[in-house]
Amino acid sequence: MSKTEYEQTLDANLDEWTIDELAEYLEENCEEAELELIFRAIELLQDCLLNSFEFASELHLSETLLRLSQKEIHDIFQLIFNDLEPSVETVEAINAAVVGESPEMLPDVEIETVQQWLRLKLAVVFEVFRVPLILQDFEEERIKSPEDWAEIQWDIAYEYFDNLDQNKREIIERVIHHYQKALVIYVKEAYPEQWATIYHSLAHAYWKRIEGDRRENLELAIYYCQQALTVRKKEADPENWAMTEHGLAHVYSDRIEGGRRENLELAIYHYQQALTVRTKEAFPEDWAKTQGNLANAYSDRIEGDRRENIEQAIYHYQQALTVYTKEADPENWAKTQGNLTKAYANRMEEEIRENFELAIYHSRQALTVYTKEVYPEDWAKAQNNLASTYSDRIEGERRQNIERAIYHYQQALIVRTKEGYPHACLSTNSLLGDLYVQEENWQRVIKTYRTAIECIELLSSWATDDDYKQQIMAENITVYDNIIQACVALGRYDEAIAYAERGRSRRLVELIASNDLYANAEIPPEIQDYLTRYEAVERQLHNLLQEDSSDGSIGERGLGRFRQTTLTPAEREAKTAEIQALQAEKQTLWREIRRFDPVIAQQIQVEAISFEEIAALLPNLQSAILSIYNTGAETHIFVIRHPATSPTKSGLFSLFQQPKQPEPIVTLHSCPDLTFGRLEELLTEQWLIPYQEDNSHWCQAMGQNLQNIAQALHLEQLIQDHLNGIQELIIIPHLGFHHIPFAALPIGDAEETVTHPEPELDNTRIKIKSKTRVQTIQNLLHEEYLGDLFQIRVLPSCQILKYCHDRPPLPQTNYGIVENTQEDLKFTHIEANRLKQLEPVLPKNHLKGRAETTVHNYQALLTRVENVHSSHHAKSDLNNPRESALELGDGKFSLGSLMLKRYPNLNHVFLSCCETNLGKSELTDDLLTLGTGFLCAGARTVISSLWAVDDLATAIFSSYYYEALKQTQQPAFALQQAQQRLRKATYTELLAEFPTAQEALIERKKKNPGSSYPFIDPYYWSGFICQGV
């Protein structure tokens, strides 16, 4: 509704509307912040009338205002703000209103009712005439006293702070709003003292803020403190300087950004600075406050000796108590008692038993002041601390202590609700849930952790930074582990699967949700500017790294030929600094771009997938979903499938039988010996680390390692007990299982040990230093593998599979090829030519060599074809996944850049490159790889690699894959067929089928004359996986 329509509606209805009708209209059309400003302005209007007329009572004043028209009230505001005299007509109308008869009202109508109606009427008038114009009036200097307006804002904010306990979240938002409004007038140059005071107050508000990203709020609080200190100097204004130093220390104590150790040292420093002014003699209360907070910092301190830090904390708490007495200052006395609880509970000196009793004593002392009615937040904190102390208490019977701990946690949760205090609610529910786990009270475990997970998801939705979202998840991952273990204990496998989904791959899920939700939306200009700069920085970095890739301190592992450097030490230092600056800028640009993401910017909570939705992803009766999850204590494989069907009855009555689709069921295959530690040993220490550090050793040990993994999973038992009648597996890995070629997990014992040439690492589609080479490797071979029994798809989560599944079908499927971007691979022409024989590829859609395969051309190709075959170099960066990249003719197309793109019309992407699905899965199980990046960008199906693949083997494998895909149109089945065909292909067959590779095949045969199967080793045939539909 336009402003004109707004005013017309009011003019037509104001006098006739009831209070309720007007209130409803205002609620629909006015901003809350504007109304709050209006209510405060009523005081100015009343003051103006009281200065000009005499009123018998407050009711008389209200009755007078009720008789004024909109125009008359507006004219009074013009007098107040613009010093414009009212017209004669307005003055006469006001006089008549003052001496006029009272409106007819019932005798029992209270003055509050009259004032409510007055506020609503004034709100309408002021909203219509003042709010749209007030800033313009200030700018054009038509306001008599802009300071009055700013002071209104300041007063409102201050009054809100005084009522902070009423509705903390909402009130802090109002405080921030009104302080920022005041800063329109109180600029630093004209009003330095007021400006500094408001900046200090804003710092306090952002430190207290519940809404939004906690990390960002604290950084803003630091910024406002630091800005305030540019005005508040110790020499000129010592008291306020010390106040802001104290406030800055407070924020550093809670800071998330940066290292925790360094932040606490900064907090201690600024508290000590404040104490140079805040002495006990001059400012006893401020001195005691800073002593208490300095004690808090020492209690949490990481630097130095832990024992000594706790003693320092106790000392400073006791110093504070020399000022804080229960009689004179009960609130701060109780707060210090509560803090002593934590210090004594953590104390290492003297008797531990006695320290716990002292902690309980001080906690109970705090509760003599803190009552739920008067100090609800502090009361809840004291209850929480008392519970924590009882949970660790040595004195008394263990069961009784646990019961007391549970009781006090439950008391704390009366106040610590998800709506009011989500951070505290999460903390208390997590601790309470841990106690229920000890008690094996699984029903309560689930109920308690369910609330904790709701808090995690709420806080994560408020975060505006991807890394902070990850931190929230990582810090609370045991909540998911424990609730899944509880669901397993109760046999509630469907719930366990749903919670596993809520705890894994959330960053990827949010990226896909955002891209799919806004797949065809135009990119706003401000984001486009960031994207342009991001790609420019990426090109600068690529050029710098290409200039000199011989030194490991600058070059990126696996890219480029290693040449001798000619840089001097000084030049190298300067170049390193330049690269680091560009990398930092790139990281900053990434964060800024991601802040504009609709899911982040609008704080959308992406709805978690339900078990019913997961079960619906089963494409047929012969498919099963295997959801793997390690809880720390053991590994579970949840098998979701349709039950095995009984043979259909034959005969006359069978003609009338209606086949009924059976409901999916869940069965559980557990590996109790496969703990997190054992998982790390198998999948990180014996697989990932050797791959990075000693590739030849990794190749040689691959067969044995895969056999060890299969045995740890009790693979044959899994197949026998759960997979009868199944033909396709949809595997959802967890943690290190993302690195594993499931198709190559062996069934049964090894049949033979094969000796063959070590892979020609210079002929892989990645570059690896030659010093790692050996002449031959020996490996275990098996007769049968998991991939022989099942078609296999692998995805990061069921929710990601659902996004791929729900993407609309595409009307056409044009192919594009990107080939040999560095012009140094010998066999990419084999797969390119075979694909062109099978599918039509327009000349403009076949990019080949450095000149054609630019980053720009590659990205343009992704917008005009539905199917892409990328056959060239790529590399994974495990330390910084967003730097994983496809190597193109003039630079790299990084995962970071890919994740910021949208390609909604991509159907099938074959990344015939190295390491395109190699990623380091953290506790949050977010696998950031080029493969998952293409899923995020819009692809329905992606074929990607787990390691540095052999050039010739990959060319032949890709050819086989497309031949099978042409026949079946089923990527997982085509992948299975290509794996089996490559593994079983003989030299004779290959020489006949691939004449352009004869020289390489003959050379390979000479190095290993004892084998007829050049690619029988899993290294060659199992490196690619199928992701998506």
* Nearest-5° Cα angle at 676, 391 to 393: 10
| pLDDT, mean of residues 726-738 | 95
> How much is the pLDDT for 655?
43
The residue type of 48 is: C
| pLDDT, mean of residues 748-760 | 58
Question: In which band, very low, low, confident or very high, does the pLDDT at 4 lie, cut at 50, 70 and 90?
Answer: very low
Measured distance CA(242)–CA(261) in Å, rounded: 23
Nearest to 499 by CA among 480, 515, 485: 480
Cβ atoms of 495 and 446 within 8 Å: the answer is yes
> How much is the pLDDT for 811?
83
DSSP single-letter state for residue 945: E
Measured distance CA(905)–CA(584) in Å, rounded: 33
Is the pLDDT at 222 greater than 70, yes or no?
yes
Higher pLDDT among residues 32 and 550, named by residue: 32
Nearest to 941 by CA among 869, 877, 858, 884: 869
The residue type of 468 is: Y
Is the pLDDT at 104 greater than 90, yes or no?
no
| pLDDT, mean of residues 7-15 | 57
Measured distance CA(448)–CA(460) in Å, rounded: 19
Residue corresponding to tokens 């003297």: 350
Positive/negative CA dihedral, 376, 377, 383, 386: negative
Is the pLDDT at 368 greater than 90, yes or no?
yes
HSE-CB for 543 with a 13 A CA cutoff: 8
Higher pLDDT among residues 836 and 753, named by residue: 836
> How much is the pLDDT for 8?
56
> How much is the pLDDT for 112?
55
Measured distance CA(743)–CA(992) in Å, rounded: 28
Which tokens in the block code for residue 633?
A: 């204590």
> How much is the pLDDT for 465?
73
Hey, how many other C-beta atoms are within 10 angstroms of the C-beta on 654? Answer: 9
Question: In which band, very low, low, confident or very high, does the pLDDT at 336 lie, cut at 50, 70 and 90?
Answer: very high
Nearest to 498 by CA among 484, 481, 509, 513: 484
If residue 747 lies in a helix (H) or strand (E), which one and from where to where?
strand 746-747
Determine which of 187-191, 278-282, 987-991 has the lowest per-residue pLDDT on average. Answer: 187-191
Give 1017's contacts (C-beta < 8 A, 6+ positions apart): 702, 703, 754, 756, 779, 781
Cβ atoms of 730 and 623 within 8 Å: the answer is yes
Hey, how many other C-beta atoms are within 10 angstroms of the C-beta on 1012? Answer: 13
Q: pLDDT tens digits, residue range 802-856?
A: 999 998 888 888 999 999 999 999 999 999 999 999 999 999 999 999 999 999 9
> How much is the pLDDT for 168?
65
> How much is the pLDDT for 3?
39
How far from chain centre, in Å, is Cα 379? Answer: 32
Higher pLDDT among residues 458 and 287, named by residue: 287
Give 198's contacts (C-beta < 8 A, 6+ positions apart): 154, 179, 182, 183, 186
Q: How far is CA 655 from CA 142, 407, 574, 661, in A?
A: 90, 64, 83, 17
Q: How far is CA 425 from CA 99, 159, 432, in A?
A: 58, 27, 10
When the pLDDT of each residue in the chain is averaged and rounded to a whole number, the result is 82
> How much is the pLDDT for 185?
78
> How much is the pLDDT for 95?
82
Is the pLDDT at 559 greater than 50, yes or no?
no
Give 755's contacts (C-beta < 8 A, 6+ positions apart): 776, 777, 778, 1008, 1010, 1011
How far from chain centre, in Å, is Cα 1015? Answer: 42
Give 179's contacts (C-beta < 8 A, 6+ positions apart): 153, 154, 157, 198, 201, 202, 205
Q: Where are the alpha helices (DSSP H) in 938-1027?
A: 951-968, 971-984, 987-993, 998-1007, 1018-1021
Q: Given the DSSP bridges, would you call strands 728-732 and 623-630 parallel, antiparallel or unpaired?
A: parallel
Cβ atoms of 597 and 517 within 8 Å: the answer is no
Give 839's contacts (C-beta < 8 A, 6+ positions apart): 815, 867, 962, 966
Q: How far is CA 438 from CA 55, 109, 250, 384, 453, in A?
A: 71, 61, 35, 18, 19
Q: Given the DSSP bridges, would you call strands 635-641 and 776-781 parallel, antiparallel or unpaired?
A: unpaired
How far from chain centre, in Å, is Cα 505? Answer: 10
> How much is the pLDDT for 998?
92
Is the pLDDT at 523 greater than 90, yes or no?
no
Q: How far is CA 585 from CA 589, 592, 963, in A?
A: 6, 11, 45
At 593 the three-state DSSP class reads: helix
Question: In which band, very low, low, confident or very high, does the pLDDT at 501 lie, cut at 50, 70 and 90?
Answer: very high
R_g of the chain computed on alpha carbons: 35
* Nearest-5° Cα angle at 1017, 678 to 769: 80
Measured distance CA(248)–CA(253) in Å, rounded: 9
At 86 the three-state DSSP class reads: coil
If residue 51 lies in a helix (H) or strand (E), which one and from where to where?
helix 32-52
Q: pLDDT tens digits, residue range 872-903?
A: 999 999 988 888 999 999 999 999 889 888 89
Nearest to 134 by CA among 43, 33, 213: 33
> How much is the pLDDT for 789?
96
